Amino acid sequence: MSLPNPLPLLAKAPVVPVVVIESLADAVPLARALVAGGLPLIEITLRTPVALEAVRAVAAEVEGAVAGAGTVIDRAQIEASLEAGARFLVSPGTTPSLADAFTQLDVPVMAGCATASEAMRLAEMGFEVLKFFPAEASGGAAFLKSIAGPLPHLRFCPTGGIGPANVADYLALPNVLAVGGSWVVPQDAIRAGNFEKVRALAAAAAALPRAARLG
């Protein structure tokens, strides 16, 4: 089975900001700062009451942004996210029913996994790029390095516990296309309206080198 591949999206930047929007008014200026800094792929997590409206606003109003929905855990959230304009979906883990729903979509999905067995099952269903979550708690860069040999066909976007101190370890791996991270969107900066700080953090993240072949 051939599913929409997230690779072309992940080729846009080495870091996918993992965003929690508490106030809808922050969504557009935050996304504009990320795009200006060179991080156009934006995962807006469905963890707050305004998350879907934030996806809608970014998708409609921010030129250059590729708005996606994260923390997608059921079919209702899939439908709501796509209706809001999400151009990609990300899940923290993948149940059989969620995986089945994902295979019916025409948008890229990064289905979540935390073990080799989970990754293998998703690969059997046609998923080629997976979210590895929670990355640090599940073995980190060492885990991904260790499974590159037996599972050379899989690529990952690890998320969870990744920041300036360890991001280079992940991006140095040939099976890591990009990483997800919240360090580029610190909540204190968002609450203070300091979107210039976000732009600067995004610019630094966008300049990070990565080893994975994206072509």
Distance CA 75, CA 57 (A): 22
Contact status, residue 113 vs residue 90, Cβ threshold 8 Å:
no
- Angstrom CA distances, 125 to 114, 121, 122, 142, stand at 16, 7, 5, 26
Residues with Cβ within 8 Å of residue 49, at least 6 apart in sequence: none
**Sign of torsion over alpha carbons 162, 164, 166, 170:** positive
Catalytic residue among 118, 131, 145, 197: 131
Answer yes or no: 131 catalytic. Answer: yes
Residue pair 45/19 in contact by the 8 Å Cβ criterion:
yes
28 neighbors 62 (Cβ within 8 angstroms): yes
Give the Cα separation of 135 and 92 in Å (integer).
11
Q: Which of 12, 43, 124, 196 is catalytic?
A: 43
Strand runs (DSSP E) across 4-87, as ranges?
A: 15-19, 41-45, 66-70
Q: Would you give the distance in Å from CA 114 to the centre of its chain? A: 15
Which residues does the annotation mark as catalytic?
Answer: 43, 131
